[in-house]
Amino acid sequence: MQAIRSPLRRVALQARLPVVRPRVARPFSTAPEAKSNTTLYLGIAAAVLAGGGYWAYTSSSDTAREVGTVAKSATQAAKAATNFVPSKADYQKVYNRIAETLDEAGEYDDGSYGPVLVRLAWHSSGTYDKETGTGGSNYATMRFEPEALHGANNGLNVARGIMEKIKQEFPWISYGDLWTLGGVAAIQEMQGPKIPWRPGRIDGFAKDATPDGRLPDATQGQDHLRKVFNDQEIVALSGAHALGRCHTDRSGFEGPWTFSPTTFTHDYFKLLFDEKWVWRKWSGPKQLADKKTGTLMMLPTDYVLIQDKSFKKYAKAYADNQDLFFKDFSAAFARLLELGVPTAQFVSSEPWELKTLDEQKK
């Protein structure tokens, strides 16, 4: 979500507002040759299992992850050779486990892992570069340094740790599929819209990691994000700020956007228009506070949504109509999660809609 905040910041900083003190290796562009790849992976697996395991645990962390990736790819190839093909029901089981994990947060943030899992899905997909066709969710390269240490990814080690536990339960799923499915489950379980999703991403290697700056920031301006999304999609995706909060030890900003940061609603847009927003006076970066309570925040990139004429018309429409917002967010978020994945890799020609835990009880 940090990617949504930043590209609009330059325009927003021009706003003049009063000040108030708060009260307190391989993309498959064509179908692979199954026989040769399976043989290759099985051969690598044999080497890893025979003697490479020790190397994986005694070498550098990135090297270890690469060896693990090769081993898991070999395991997946072995399963394919024995006719193991995960079904939609298998992915529903993964979804269910993620959904069950959301409320295991305890004291973390507002008692839910949902918002941070949405952020992981966003940031692992938002690295896509349209000009080069690289990045996106296909390789899950945030597992590797230096991408894992990029400033925009601060705090996502928490989300990756949560997902790693689920990966141990379902080792056949790729990290890219797991992380994006985590975002889908989080949105849907927090009372948001259905998000169409389909599997097919593969695990990459450290060499595939994206450079810093792929998640747009103020130095690149609005046009960088507009190379991938249109204005309506940018505004719709910004609505994910209904969830979660900012942390001073991550982004430098502080506070939630809404009064219900673990429930997906259109309140983010309603608050932008209904509240009076003023610059917060503090030692941190420029952000806004609601004048009435001083407990909510907006980033300069949020406030620009009601200043820029093109953005404002969509923001107002979403403030007035939650159903419209849900529909447009669902479409934009589903497209975001597929950035960088060759169509031929997907196991289904059409995305699936997975059921929430509540739906399965009926």
Token pair for residue 10?
Answer: 């330059």
CA distance 327 to 321: 10
Q: Is position 257 annotated as part of the catalytic site?
A: yes
Q: Is position 282 annotated as part of the catalytic site?
A: no
Assign 332 to helix, strand or coil.
helix
Number of CB atoms found within 10 A of residue 110's CB: 16
Selecting among 122, 123, 197, 266, the annotated active-site residue is 123
Listed residue (69, 64, 77) closest to 25, CA to CA:
69
Assign 94 to helix, strand or coil.
helix
Q: Name the residue type at position 240.
A: A
> DSSP letter string over 172-216?
TS-HHHHHHHHHHHHHHHTT-----B--------GGGPPPTT-S-
**β-bridge pairing 277-280 and 19-20:** parallel
Selecting among 122, 179, 257, 352, the annotated active-site residue is 257
CA distance 26 to 11: 39
**Please, what sign has the CA dihedral across residues 197, 118, 324, 224?**
negative
Instruction: Please identify every residue annotated as catalytic.
Output: 123, 257
